[in-house]
Structures are given as C-alpha cells and as structure tokens.
Homo-oligomer: A and B are copies of this chain.
Amino acid sequence: MQIPPELNTSQRILLGPGPSNVHPRVLRAMAQPLVGHLDPEFVAIMDEVRGMLRAVMRTSNEMTFAISAPGSAGMEAALVNLLEPGDEALICIHGVFGGRMADIAERCDARVTRVEAEWGHPIDPDDVKKALANLRPKLVAIVHAETSTGVRQPLEEISRMAREAGALFVVDAVTSLGGIDVRTDEWGIDVLYSGTQKCLSAPPGLSPITFSERALEAVSKRRTKVRSWFLDVSLLRNYWSGGQRAYHHTAPVSMAFALREALRIVLEEGLEARFARHQKNHQILRDALAELGFSFLVDREFRLPELNAVLVPAGIDEAAVRRRLLDVYDIEVGGGLGPLAGKIWRIGLMGESSSLNNINALTGALRTILG
C-alpha cells in the first residue's frame, strides 16, 4: 500500500468544546521514553497523579484515579459499577450528556426516571424534589457543566435531596474540573468523573474519577458482577492502589506522563487563580461578542466561563464562518449539537486555551469575516 507521508498538521487554536490547547511542557512530558506500567517508577507516578487529582477534585477519597479511556468511559464506569438490573436511577437531563447517562443506565438494565430541563437551562431542584417524592433511587446523576449547552448546574441542593432519599450522588465534571470550582467532598458527591482534554489541558484519553467509601460499599454489596471487566472498580482498585499492584490492564503510560504534567501546571497556577482567569477571560469574550451581535443561550447566573454557548446572529451561514475560521485562521470553534445544531456556537476557553491572545485572535478574525 501507499504509506502516508510524515504527520503534518496545522497549528490550531482550539476554542471548541475540547480538546483544548496543550502546554508544551505537557507535550514534552508525554514524549518522554516509556517505562513499564508495573515499573516502580510508574507506580510512583500513578500515586503522584492520584494525589494531585485529589487536590484538584477537592476530595480525600482513597479511590481517586484515572480510567484508561476518555471521559465517556468515565461516565460508563460510574454507572456500570453502581447499577444492577432492576435498580432505580434518577437521571437529570439538560443536554446531550445527561441523555447519554440515561442511555448507559438503561444498558445496565436499571429503571430510569428522567428529570429534564430545557436545553440552555439548569435542572430545577424542585423537579428533583417532586421526582424523589415517589422514588427511592439507588443513585441520582447529573451533569455539572453541560458541554452541549454551556450551563453550569448548581449541585448542593440536589445533592442534599439525593442524600436524604438514601441515594448515591453521581456527577459528570468533564467540562468543569480545573475551570470552575468542584468540591467533591463538601458537596457530598459519591462518584465524580472528568476528562483530561478540557480545563485540565492534557490530551484526551484518560478519565479522572473518584469513588467515595459509600460508593465503594455499594459496589461491594452487588449481587451480580459488574458488567464491564475493563471498568470494574473492584479490579481497578488492586491495580491503582495498595502495596502490591495486581496486573489488570496496561495503563496508557504516556498519557499518564501527560496528565501528571498538566496537573502540576494546574496546581502551580493554583485553583482559585485558575478559576479567576477563566472567569475574567469569559467576561472579556462576552463583551467582545456582544459588539459582534452574538448573545448568550444561557442566563448570566448559570453560564460556564469555559464554554460559551452563543446564538449566531441571524443571516450568518454559521457552518461557512466556522469553516473559514478553521481554514484561514486555524481557529476551531464548536457547532451546536442536537436541537441546537445550526443555531449556536460553543466557544471553549478551557485551560491553556483561555488566554487574551486567543480571544483577540478569534474576535479579530470574526470582525474581518463578518464585517
């Protein structure tokens, strides 16, 4: 066959829904020659990654680690470990990713009750309250930062309701972790998972996840085996923790190097400073986009600073403009998903991508294209 030529990609400014741009330090760490996945040096790296993830997730959970696959596998890991056939699950849906949770829970043969909000709005805690009046679910699951709509979902009130109903509280923090505050323990979250390619600014391929003791106890009380061998936390526990590491699968060594370096950068900046940077840059982008005629899908109170869902002004061929941004300016912004396709853009200012220069590049390009 014809062997393809040397890799030769464009230098993109990544302002879509992820991946975000990756710091050269992370790329360099990733390109370090490999050590074996059971090498004592790699075991130490796993422990360092776990320690830094605990700091970023604000948890003291022992079972904090990274699933060896992207964020959607983290979602599957959370649900497939907790749910057995016939279990009740209350799934909150205000965008694509809540819907995906329900799909996965149904594949676990759980009985799913849906609480929904219109896309662009957060879930109303009163609706959760009503649903819980007639239900004692094993878990309540919700998306903290809905990547399809740009909504920040307040969690504390719903967490309290879940706890009072005797349910475990599962949170998707794929697009929030490292960009806005995520307080796993303080907010009573039992399982929280994320991705590496959003506000942590590592390449995609791992899913940081944490299980509370309550969640692990629920896993240990299962009557049936976890349906996924690859994601079974009772097996992963012996690979990621304890004195003698038991072989399970082969962890993505280079990705772990990358995540380690990305987490170092997050902690060097400091969580509060990082959240403030995301918030400040969001406000600068918001003002610049307002001048260009874009308005926000989401009410101010619930906007994610790292994912700006904006309505494209009437009369603009949004797909053509996005293509021009990519082809001429090397700038990626995201289109809408599902019912929002063709109507909104999703402009990510995540991790390394959240910078003044990137905002100026985008708004400058838009002024030229639209002006």
Contact = CB atoms under 8 A, between A and B. Distances in A.
Interface residues of A, number: 78
A255 interface: yes
A7 B249 contact: no
Given A19-B253, A33-B9, A33-B21, A69 B71 contact: no
A269 to B, nearest CB: 11
Given A36-B19, A250-B71, A254-B205, A76 B230 contact: yes
Secondary structure call for the A interface: loop
25 contacts: A3-B52, A3-B267, A3-B268, A7-B32, A7-B261, A9-B45, A10-B41, A12-B34, A16-B36, A19-B37, A21-B33, A30-B31, A30-B254, A31-B31, A34-B203, A37-B204, A39-B326, A69-B230, A71-B250, A73-B230, A107-B229, A197-B250, A247-B337, A252-B255, A255-B255
Interface of A: 1, 3-4, 6-7, 9-12, 14, 16, 18-19, 21-22, 27-37, 39-41, 45, 48, 51-52, 55, 68-73, 76, 80, 100, 103-104, 106-108, 195, 197, 203-205, 225-230, 247-255, 257-258, 260-261, 264, 267-268, 326, 332, 337
Given A4-B52, A7-B32, A72-B230, 4 more contacts: A27-B33, A30-B31, A205-B255, A247-B337
